[in-house]
Amino acid sequence: MLVIDKEISNIFEKTIKSLYGDRNIKNLDITVATKEEFGDFQTNFAMMNSKIIGDNPRKIAQNIIDNIVDNDIVEKLEIAGPGFINIFLKVQYLNNLIKNVLTKKYDFSFLDTHGDVVIDFSSPNIAKRMHIGHLRSTVIGDSIARIYRYLNYHVIADNHIGDWGTQFGKLIIGYRTWLNKSTYDENPIEELERVYVEFAKASENSDILEENARIELKKLQDGDEKNYNLWKEFVSESLKEYNKLYKRLGVHFDTYYGESFYHDMMKDIIKELLDKKIAVDDDGAKVVFFDEKDNLYPCIVEKKDGAFLYSTSDVATIKFRKENYNLNKIIYLTDERQQDHFKQVFKITDMLGWTIEKHHIWFGIMTFDDAILSTRGGNVIRLEMLLDESKRRAYNTVNEKNPLLSEEEKNNIAEIVGIGAIKYADLSQNRQSPVKFEWNKILSFEGNTAPYLQYSYARIKSILRRAKNDNKEITDDKEVNIYEKQERILANHILIFPMAVLKAAETFKPNIIADYLFELAKKFNTFYNSCPILNQEDDVLYSRGQLIKAIGKTLKEGLYLLGIETLEKM
Ligand code: ARG
């Protein structure tokens, strides 16, 4: 089924074409009416295009209203204010659409979905456990991947793990010097973290350690077998650990091409940059200097000692993706501190003449009790601990509300609610603002939270079950008859779901979907409090039943796009 604003704009487009021909008119925006008395939808087309058309907006609006082409959608049009057109839809049209929501898919064929969308997210650095700082990239990246897939793009979810770099020389020394084998066997990353810290402490009073670490790193880079095997082990143990968390979070990757994957390509990158005079020799180092107007620091791509840098690796990564995929776009998710890095990398690829659509989607830093969470800071909250704590708290609530459920059910609900709450707390915020966690808020069953949405969904499911038990099952073929104002408001809100998804994709902001869902759940709860469903005349019961079924379906789909599961019972 066509997305509703497209369907309406088709009618306007035809009318406008017949009146004004093929002029270069500005976008025809159809938005939801801001007040009930303004109808269902509105457009400011006449105001936006009065200069281009060369008439005053009210006249244009009136002209469109008087000449609107024949259709089965529009009940009436009204002119408002300086030239708005208020659009009132035929109720039969809305009735049909709601029925379609239950049985059909939205048609997004107007999008240019050619090629591959590479989404580069999560990307932790090996040999460290994931902490709260990794949550945003993982959760927002996964949601964007889900949204793009929903819109029929071919997505490649890539985990660009940090598996190459100076830390490995240090880790190898640490491993050989301080490792406690039995702790390592039990929890490898924890032990690697510890020896890494030991190295840092010891190297404070010993330059030789740093030097030795460089030697081991060099050996690793030159393919020394022992070092290589150790490195491989660090990587695979780390991935094992990460995959446990990804599984719990419901996050999926198609590829795990880490920095090491690109290592052999970097020499050629430097050569190309030098050949094209994009990089120059600067006292032994290879450096890209930018135009003054770009306002960027010079970017070192090869150090004096021949070592490559993070930026070199990202230029190589882009080259690989360009050559191996049919790129539609690349989307990167990292925190705000990498903005300059990506500006430099993108500029360099522009200078190389590679035309690729790329977006660095950055987000604010997540805090908990005011501490900035970074591995270096003292106050690190590990991701696993965070999830466990959320689950524990959710369990207590479930236990209180529903003591009679089986232990297994309680645990299952607690896991889904606990993880949903954390993800939603992150995704419902504007990603560029910092996020501060507060347990009581994020786990509350009221307000803009996952538990509230999950609860609303379960409430709908329970109403549908009760109808079925009364022998009034709400099957998809039942007629919808929108009658009350409340019903119409709900119907319109259901129908704009794909508009919210499109907007979220365009702006890379899952919080647009979260806001949409919160509004939908609120509208449902208000509706249900004033318009009963069960014990009504059959036609009312079935019609309202269909409406809430469509809400349920939309809530589930929307939560899925945020990576959040729903429950049939809570
Ligand atoms: N490993 C990096 C970090 O932890 C993030 C990598 C992001 N992706 C990229 N292509 N640079 O900060």
pLDDT at 511 over 90: yes
Counting ligand 1 atoms within 8 A of each CB, the residue from 128, 135, 257, 334 with the most, and so the one to mutate, is 334
Q: CB under 8 Å, gap of 24 or more: what pairs does 55-60 form? A: 56/83, 57/82, 57/83, 58/82, 58/83
- Between the CA of 259 and the centroid of ligand 1 the distance, in Å, is 9
Any idea how long the chain is?
Answer: 570
Q: Which of 121, 128, 338 to mutate to test the pocket of ligand 1 (most atoms within 8 A of CB)?
A: 338
| Contacting residues for 27 by C-beta, under 8 A, at least 6 apart | 48
| DSSP states along 293-339 | GG----EEEE-TTS-B-HHHHHHHHHHHHHHHS-EEEEEEEEEGGGH
Q: What is the pLDDT of residue 379?
A: 60
How much distance in Å is there from the Cα of 407 to the middle of ligand 1? Answer: 40
CA distance 262 to 320: 8
Residue 124 alpha carbon to ligand 1 centre in Å: 7
Which atom number of ligand 1 is nearest to the Cα of residue 124?
Answer: 4
Q: Which residue, among 48, 61, 82, has the nearest Cα to 19 in the 3D structure?
A: 61
Q: What percent of the chain has pLDDT over 90?
A: 87
**pLDDT computed for residue 239 by the predictor:** 96
Question: DSSP code of 134?
Answer: G
The answer to which of 11-25, 110-124, 495-509 has the lowest mean pLDDT is 11-25
Rounded distance, CA 87 to CA 271, Å?
A: 61
What are the pLDDT digits (tens) for 356-398?
999 999 999 877 653 443 343 346 788 888 899 899 999 999 9
Residue nearest to atom 6 of ligand 1 (CA): 123
Residue 485: CB atoms within 10 Å: 11
What is the per-residue pLDDT across 253-291, written as a single tens digit (0 to 9) for each? 999 999 999 999 999 999 999 999 999 999 999 999 999
Q: pLDDT per residue over 410-454, tens digit each?
A: 999 999 999 999 999 999 999 888 888 888 899 999 999 999 999
**SS3 assignment for 487-529:** HHHHHHHHHCHHHHHHHHHHHCCCHHHHHHHHHHHHHHHHHHH
Atom of ligand 1 nearest to the CA of 134: 4
Backbone angles phi, psi at 120, to 5 degrees: -105, 105
DSSP for 431-450, please give it: TTS-EE--HHHHT-SSSSSH
**Could you say which DSSP state residue 105 is in?**
-
For residue 310, the ligand 1 atom closest to its alpha carbon is 11
Determine which residue's CA is closest to atom 5 belonging to ligand 1.
Answer: 123
Q: What is the pLDDT of residue 296?
A: 97
Collect all residues with Cβ–Cβ distance below 8 Å to 49 and sequence separation of at least 6.
Answer: 25, 26, 60
Residues near ligand 1 (Cβ within 6 A): 120, 123-125, 160, 162, 314, 317, 332, 334
Residue 461: pLDDT above 90? yes
Q: What is the mean pLDDT of residues 294-309?
A: 94
Atom in ligand 1 nearest the alpha carbon of residue 317: 10
pLDDT surpassing 90 at residue 249: yes
Helix (H), strand (E), coil (C) string for 64-84: HHHHCCCCCCEEEEEEECCCE
CA-161 nearest atom, ligand 1: 1
- For residue 121, the CA-to-ligand 1 centroid distance in Å is 8
Task: State which ligand 1 atom lies nearest to the alpha carbon of 345.
Answer: 11
Shortest-distance Cα residue to atom 8 of ligand 1: 160
pLDDT tens, 190-225?
A: 999 999 999 999 999 888 999 999 999 989 988 999
C-alpha of residue 442 to centroid of ligand 1, in Å: 28
Ligand 1 center to 334 CA (angstroms):
7
For a mutational test of ligand 1's pocket, the pick from 119, 160, 168, 309, i.e. the residue with the most ligand atoms closer than 8 A to its C-beta, is 160
Distance 128 CA to ligand 1 centre (A): 14
Distance 111 CA to ligand 1 centre (A): 29
**331 pLDDT higher than 60:** yes
Average pLDDT, integer, range 535-562? 97
Write the residue with the smallest CA distance to atom 1 of ligand 1.
Answer: 162
pLDDT band at 8 (very low <50, low <70, confident <90, very high): very high
Q: What is the widest separation between alpha-carbon atoms in the chain?
A: 86
Distance from the CA of 311 to the center of ligand 1, in angstroms?
A: 10
Whole-number Å distance between alpha carbons of 419 and 400: 19
Output the CA 398–ligand 1 centroid distance in Å.
Answer: 38
Picking from 330, 333, 332, the residue whose alpha carbon sits closest to that of residue 355 is 330
For residue 26, how far is its CA from the centre of ligand 1 (angstroms)?
39
Nearest in space to 30 (alpha carbons), one of 53, 59, 10, 56: 10
Question: Separation of 261 CA from ligand 1 center, angstroms?
Answer: 14
Task: For residue 332, report the distance from its CA to the centre of ligand 1, in Å.
Answer: 9
pLDDT at 369: 57
Nearest CA to ligand 1 atom 3: 124
Number of helices (H), then strands (E), belonging to the chain: the values are 22, 14
C-alpha–C-alpha distance, residues 153 and 146, integer Å = 10
Nearest-CA residue for atom 11 of ligand 1? 314
Decide: 226 and 540 in contact? Cβ < 8 Å: no
Query: Average pLDDT of the chain?
Result: 94
Query: Which atom of ligand 1 lies nearest, measured to the CA of 341?
Result: 11
H or E element, residue 119: strand 116-120
Domains of the chain, with CATH numbers? 4-89 (3.30.1360.70), 167-249 (no CATH), 369-570 (1.10.730.10)
- Burial tier of 565 (Cβ tally within 10 Å: 0-12, 13-18, 19+): middle
Choice among 154-163, 369-378, 505-514 with the minimum mean pLDDT: 369-378
Mean pLDDT of 333-339: 96
pLDDT band at 243 (very low <50, low <70, confident <90, very high): very high
pTM exceeds 0.75 for this model:
yes
